[in-house]
Structure 1
């Protein structure tokens, strides 16, 4: 009886959110036109994505910094991209926080880091996005608009992949594996593919001579920044999966299949099937 009541209340909240946060047809079509990597989605997928985007907007609080005007177009574009990775999973992967903060462009991040000798340093660097464990996602609107698919870059997908990774603790490149979605994928199977791919990529980056670095950085599908940490490798590869799926599958077929199984999507359309959730 309690389970049925919970389901009924959940359905009521969903319907109320969809009623209170509708997306105008013209705005939705303009959003899709600006995000060409949604092309792999069929009509039913796009309808579910639209609903999920409304639900996301209902659950999260958008704000801006430096007097940037928040518009419906900005909100829907960011929300739709955030919802793409969880389209066949659940918004529950984004639970536990509410804030999305949008800056006009890059912003400064200040961090305390400890070097190999145990000396603590205060460092600053410019960033286009930041995901805080238990806190907001911070995005550069300038970077969030870089969505033409000329490369695999997508700051929104990147930061929301971090949020998924953080659901089971500190981001480490090993996101939560939930049986109803990911079985028979388990932590060992994930590590066998992901950790090996990360180590191989780091070795490639380390082997690049300084004089060839600019060319490597320009031509590599996977941003060399991904070698900084397994969590960054997961986030950058998530970008590639959705933004450049055919190139990603061609260059990293085993890793493509791992992430496709995780997100339960096959953007390159290589014939993968997924067990019903």
Structure 2
């Protein structure tokens, strides 16, 4: 077997800079084009795999909202979960050991908002940080009157712009156990991730005009703010009056958990959410 003539190769003159630049450009383009194709192929393979029976039992026990879904959407949810669990890292905090039950429960709830959309909506999400229960954060808050205050607050969840979602496992279980109260911490925090990706709550503070997304959601937001200021009863959680970002997240919780009531009480808002999520959950109960 003949050896490689390294001496001749090393002695050969280097290509001119323009050729080297061309080679580098081709390599970079190959990576940029090849990686999305590889990711798409991997995701197709994952979607085709059925969920293990153990995972299905977890869904039945922990996520009763899944039982409302028509059979085709349940199959879609399983496919979304496969991709989600392969892509995202779960990190236990404050000594929590992350179990398969935790991963499957969170994945099911997180994937509900993208049932009618695409896995790529969560490409920015990298990690899910799980605490055993509510965690305390230090914050500076400015209310609508401009008053600034410092303090600490117990949180059930947070969504970070850097691609992390922080969740309390106890609150995840509690909010999932009652599928029709309009409160679901996982849906709430992942709605924030969708908001970050698509700018959904931008301009909701502006005076409404027309009947587009910003106008409809802006009007609904201001109605909730007014009701919250008067301590009036509302379908949407008054926490949504905090700011437009929280309004979209709260409205998303109601869209998935109290769809029929939302469609009746806020038909224009429901229609806009239906258009964005590409779903009609008000029909699920009757399916």
Aligned match for 2:57, one of 29, 34, 46: 29
Aligned match for 2:152, one of 101, 121, 124: 124
Correspondence list, 1:251-266, <5 A = 251-266=265-280
Deviation at 1:168, TM superposition (A): 4.1
- Unaligned runs of 5+ residues in structure 1 are 176-186, 271-277
Q: Residue 219 of structure 2 aligns with which residue?
A: 196
Correspondence list, 1:96-107, <5 A = 96-107=124-135
Distance 2:192 2:224 in 1: 19
Helix, strand or coil at the partner of 2:281:
coil
Distance 1:120 1:240 in 2: 30
- State whether residues 64 and 103 of structure 1, in contact with CA within 8 Å, keep that contact through their aligned partners in structure 2: yes
Change beyond 3 A, Cα 1:246–1:100: same
- State whether residues 144 and 155 of structure 1, in contact with CA within 8 Å, keep that contact through their aligned partners in structure 2: yes
Distance 2:226 2:149 in 1: 27
Q: Residue 12 of structure 1 aligns with which residue?
A: 41
Change beyond 3 A, Cα 1:250–1:27: same
Deviation at 1:237, TM superposition (A): 0.7
- State whether residues 202 and 214 of structure 2, in contact with CA within 8 Å, keep that contact through their aligned partners in structure 1: no
Helix, strand or coil at the partner of 1:126:
strand
1:159 aligns with 2:173: no
TM-score, length basis structure 1: 0.79
Equivalent residue pairs, number: 247
Deviation at 1:118, TM superposition (A): 8.6
Correspondence list, 1:107-146, <5 A = 107-113=135-141, 122-146=150-174
Deviation at 1:222, TM superposition (A): 1.3
Aligned match for 1:207, one of 230, 241, 252: 230
Change beyond 3 A, Cα 1:4–1:255: same
Q: Residue 64 of structure 1 aligns with which residue?
A: 92
Q: Residue 201 of structure 2 aligns with which residue?
A: 172
Helix, strand or coil at the partner of 1:109:
strand
Distance 1:97 1:8 in 2: 20
Distance 1:10 1:110 in 2: 38
- State whether residues 17 and 55 of structure 1, in contact with CA within 8 Å, keep that contact through their aligned partners in structure 2: yes
1:237 aligns with 2:237: no
Change beyond 3 A, Cα 1:86–1:98: same
What is the alpha-carbon root mean square deviation over aligned residues?
A: 3.0
- Unaligned runs of 5+ residues in structure 2 are 1-29, 205-209
Larger Rg: 2
Deviation at 1:110, TM superposition (A): 1.6
Distance 1:172 1:28 in 2: 35
1:82 aligns with 2:96: no
TM-score, length basis structure 2: 0.76
